[in-house]
Structure 1
Amino acid sequence: MANTEQSPRDRLEAADRALAADPRDPRALIAKGDALSDLGDGRAAASFYNSALRAAGDGKGLEPGVIADLRRAQAALQAQARRFERHLAERLAGAGFNATTSSDRFALSLDLMAGRKRMYQQEPRFYLFPGLPQVQFQPRETLPWLAAVEAAAGDIRAELNALLAEPDLFRPYVEPRADRPNRDGMGMASNADWSALFLWKDGEEQPAIARRCPCTMEALAEVPLCRVPGRTPSILFSKLTAGARIPPHHGLINTRLICHLPLIVPPGSRFRVGNDARAWKEGQAWAFDDTIEHEAANDSSEERTILIFDVWKPELTEEERALVSAMFQAIDGYGAGGAAWGV
């Protein structure tokens, strides 16, 4: 605890002497934070409290008195953070900021600064195209074709219902490959809880199913599907059984967006990309970057089924799209057996 018999200035000098001998001494760091706080400099005090907590690590081997001081410092940090957030909110409100209607990116920056959210980055497992925006869900205004796909949701669902009457058509979304090592750290391989029925798979039409879905294919005719022969696009109906979960994971390449058109979505089925968690709503589509950590859950008592397809990111030029496609064709032309993937 701080020695209140000394003035804050005297305690500050004493703390500085102790820190000159050991810059990582948690008690000296807290003492300096206490002195600065008493001098009215809460922000500087918080930096020393933070340093004390980092220096203490897991606290093993520290004396009980030091542990008590660390807990007090942590409480002081939390109180300082609340005061700072209130101050910032008042000033920004005066500048016209509204968390509901103002810039989403600026609102996220405040959440990141305050520690309310963490920064999720693109982490493709295979290929990174540099310079693309770090965006979790793609803004609708950048996808002018999305509304037309939504308008066809009723017809697409009718085609889906006919296919659902033949449940054996659906196969586990993740199936082993004989020509590659099959690692399954998430328990999804051959798991029928997450199943799929493909109209296009790995860049090739599946004619037996596609011809049964003319409305679906017509709705996607003007969509900028990500076309890489032997790899993309994939167009599929994805089914998640009641109570099933798809664990957090990352996609392979950051040059495309994955699109969902919800068709059968009981309450309790939800999806998260990075910090943004949403509930599917029938007929309301979205597109997201699957190289940012994402997961899905169906906590309802019914099956959830959506249409999934992949498109080029709108920030890529036509030249860049052609070059990415040519690059993967060159990769697949090097020896036998391409590294195909789905969505």
Structure 2
Amino acid sequence: LSKILYQPEVGENIGRYCQISQNHGIENSIDLKVLLKICDGALKRGEKLHTTLPIENTNRVVGTILGSEVTKRYGAAGLPDNTIHLHFKGSAGQSLGAFVPRGITIELEGDANDYTGKGLCGGKIIVYPPIGSSFVPEENIIIGNVAFYGATSGEAYIRGMAGERFCVRNSGLSAVVESVGDHGCEYMTGGRVVVLGKTGRNFAAGMSGGIAYVLDMEGDFHTRCNTQMVYLERLEELEEIEDVRQMIVWHHNYTKSTKAKHLLSLWDDILPKFVKVMPKDYKRIMETMKRVKAMGLDGDEAIMTAFEENTRDISRITGN
């Protein structure tokens, strides 16, 4: 170990270990300077609040400290939906709405950097271009890379394109977006994602749970999807079709998306263009669940029986 532990001869003014703590500037964050103050009534008494504020790309993790205060007071249940509605205008920095719990809605009229909605756990995030902007939203990136990484629950409505690795490791979020970059829904384990346009390459790599619905107008989505762990299917069940349509309705209501409005006006013609991305393991589990419930099992017993059968399934072992 002598070579590893060797200490070079340096001057006394050269530091060889951490001597100055890093200043993260948390005391200057929007949460501490503004949000906690204006949301005092909501935090203490559950009073509803809807306010509009400016935001800049130097404002990072906006809403996270506020969200932690909600969780401290109300636990995992959070507050009733939309108790705190923050409408920002401008360009948000990294990690907008990270780990935001139920009860907080963040509406951004502008654009956002990477990690938007990271770890979202019940909150709602709405992003759309500035009103009056001249560019076509679905053809321009509105949020950066790795949006909604590791989200466990909540809702997201994004009018425009998302960068790479959208909804990676999503385990419970419901999201609508108008296009995504490479590696969308990678390692996804739960939740639902509706993509109203093109995807990048390697979509659904390692996806073992949840469901994605991709609008494939040109019929070439299969060339950009990693089908090692997923099936590509059509929407057939009426309840599922209505769920997807309703998500698009909400997307239009929240973002005023002209693309969503157009798709809804031609719904019967557009519906066959949607591709359902269904994880193979998840499909086997769901089919087994239906069968064991028909046998009279329910609750945890049904779940464990389905899980154990799936682990022994030969088709799973062979990768089919």
Q: What's the TM-score, normalizing by structure 1?
A: 0.21
Considering fraction of residues, name the structure with more helix: 1
Considering fraction of residues, name the structure with more strand: 2
CA radius of gyration, larger in: 1
Higher RCO structure (Cα 8 Å, ≥6 apart): 1
Q: What's the TM-score, normalizing by structure 2?
A: 0.22
